[in-house]
Structure 1
């Protein structure tokens, strides 16, 4: 028999890949499932973005291989976006690299900077892909605790007590997924100081800044961040382009060059039309975000009501595309709780445990569900 690589022994199939098969099976059986588990925007991109990809189809270079670094026009627009939204200056020629979604950036960064047995600081709770990719490149995940008591921020005193001698990368994600906690400039400054002290690359994964957030921030607003940090960003949530797969990584030239060495061996450039659409998205004015957030705000209020129906508690000041809710005192685990919801009320939400052990006792609702469906879900508890 042909044996799979040993690296696969340390990773599991992505939770949603597996769970959605069960959800889809229930749907095929006629069950009226309402899916509040996935953070995939159901809203559509701006009409100018769709027009841009349509119009690009007849450009004479549209169907050729594209540059591994993306169109200069796209990189310029990405850096302009950072200047306008975060007051952060980046060199479009050397300090930004477009990606086919920021998720691929997690792999590219890991391959560029990690050797076998290097260690990686990973938030608990946090995005499961950080740990999975770390395992795939044969490095070692080292989880650091985030807790509600500390507003889901790193505990730097505890971090300093750890053996950090083998740590090469620290993953952070602010605004935080799944909890919706928003970092302050002081937290970013502490992260940069920590990274410099221990020579750890700090990588902030930042796709949620503009969803229900009055204070969008970049880690590069912290002094000296370019010396020790990278930041991932994405058009998926901000511009309803998750299926387009457009992201970016930003940092100093040496770091970006290292990531490019990996990326240039793994794809042949992003499709021209998608890049042209992304350019138009990045040009959108502030009313785009305001209009999106009017919709998400209404949905969030309904999700708050649904959470209350479930006797869950939540932080009404959290930001981002999700509602992180603490379960009432119960003997059920998070996974048992959501399975009961799925089979008894035909409602799918995400158990907090898929984000780490500190997610036990929590569930996560997505705001990527229209008001009609949320109201329908509510009706199932009021009946």
Structure 2
């Protein structure tokens, strides 16, 4: 029998990949499953983005290989987007790299900077892909604690006491997934100084900054950030384009160029029509965000009612595409979500998917219609 690579010994299949098979099987058996586990936007993308995608199909350039760096006009629009919404100046020529989704960027950044045996600071709780990619590259994830009593922000005193030898990358993610907490100015100043002090690349994964959030922030607006930081961003949540696979990496030329050296050996460019659609999406006015958040606000209030029905508590000041809820005392996350799935045919995500500090919590997605959410409330 041909053996798989040793790197797979420490990497499990993505939780949602496995769980959705179980949910699909239950549906096939006739169970009326309501899926509140996945953050896959169900709303329409900007109309002009869809039209641009359709119109490009007759363009003679549409079916050719595309530039590894993306269309110049896409990079220009990303640069303009950052200036308009984040008050950050970045060079479209040298400091922007379009990606096929930010998840691709996590892999490419890791491949560009990590050697076997290097270490990576990974938030607990946090996006599971940070640790999975680290393990795939035979580096070591070093988990740092995020806790409710510190508003899910890292304790820099605790970080300084850790063994930071061979740490090359630190992943941060604010507005935070899964908790929805936000970081303040002091945090960004501290984390930049921490990265400079220890020669650690700080990567801010920033796909949720416009969802139920009136103050979108880029780490690159802070002093000295470009010396030590990269930022990932995405159109998936902001513009309901998750399946289009459009993201971006922004930061200093030297860092971005290192990632390009990896990326250019991994794909042959993003489809022309998707790039054209992304350009139109990035041009959306503030009315787009207001309309989007009006829908999510109504849905979130219903999710709060559902959480109340399940005897869970939550932070009404949290932002993002999810509601992070604390279970009643002494309940375990996975046992609770399995029970809710069995008794009410509602799939929600156990907090332990995101790390040990997620024990005692669950995550609800806002990606379901009001009708579906009202049905979920009725069931409990």
TM range (shorter): over 0.9
* Structure 1 residue ranges, 4+ long, deviating more than 4 angstroms after superposition: none
CA distance in 2, matches of 1:346, 1:312: 18
Residue deviations 1:301-326 (CA, integer Å, cap 9, x gap) = 00011111111110000000000000
How many Å separate the matches in 1 of 2:60 and 2:379? 54
Q: Which residue of 2 aligns with 1:374?
A: 373
State the match for 1:79 in structure 2: 79
2:293 corresponds in structure 1 to 293
Q: 1:360 maps to which residue?
A: 359
Q: CA deviation at 1:185?
A: 1.6
Q: Report the Cα distance in structure 1 between the residues aligned to 2:76 and 2:161, rounded to whole angstroms.
A: 42
Q: Unmatched 5+ residue regions in structure 2?
A: none
- Match of 2:336? 337
How far 1:250 moved relative to its partner? 0.5
Partners of 1:168 and 1:200 within 8 A in 2: yes
Q: How does 1:145-294 map to 2 (within 5 A)?
A: 145-294=145-294
CA RMSD of aligned residues (A): 0.5
Q: Distance in 2 between matches of 1:351 and 1:45?
A: 29
TM-score, length-scaled by structure 2: 1.00
Question: 1:103 Cα deviation (Å)?
Answer: 0.1
Check whether the contact 1:185–1:221 (CA below 8 A) recurs between aligned residues.
no
Secondary structure at the aligned position of 2:58 is classed as: coil
Alignment of structure 1 residues 17-32 onto 2, 5 Å: 17-32=17-32
- 2:128 aligned residue: 128
Query: Post-superposition shift, 1:291?
Result: 0.1
| Residue 109 of structure 1 pairs with residue 79 of structure 2 | no
- Distance in 1 (CA, whole Å) between partners of 2:143 and 2:151 is 17
Shift of 1:135: 0.2
CA distance in 2, matches of 1:101, 1:236: 8
Q: How much has 1:166 moved relative to structure 2?
A: 1.0
Q: State the alpha-carbon separation in 2 of the partners of residues 227 and 261 from structure 1.
A: 19
- Aligned with 2:236: secondary structure? coil
Distance in 2 separating the partners of 1:320 and 1:148:
17
Unaligned runs of 5+ in 1: none
Report how far residue 153 of structure 1 moved. 0.4
> How far 1:170 moved relative to its partner?
0.1
Displacement after TM superposition at 1:214 (Å):
1.0
User: Using the alignment, how far apart are the partners of 1:123 and 1:356 within structure 2?
Assistant: 8
The alpha-carbon deviation at position 333 of structure 1 amounts to 1.4
Is the partner of 2:275 in helix, strand or coil? Answer: helix
Cα distance in 1 for partners of 2:101, 2:146 equals 26
Q: Distance in 1 between matches of 2:187 and 2:220?
A: 12
**Native 8 Å contact 1:67 1:269 kept in 2:** yes
Secondary structure of residue in 2 paired with 1:120: strand
* CA distance in structure 2 between the partners assigned to 1:49 and 1:253 by the alignment: 29
Find the counterpart in structure 2 of residue 40 from structure 1.
40
1:163 Cα deviation (Å)?
1.0
Between the aligned partners of 1:285 and 1:253, the Cα distance in structure 2 is: 29
| Structure-2 separation of matches of 1:65 and 1:179 | 40
- Distance in 2 (CA, whole Å) between partners of 1:48 and 1:105 is 26
Aligned equivalents of 1:178 and 1:152: distance in 2?
Answer: 10
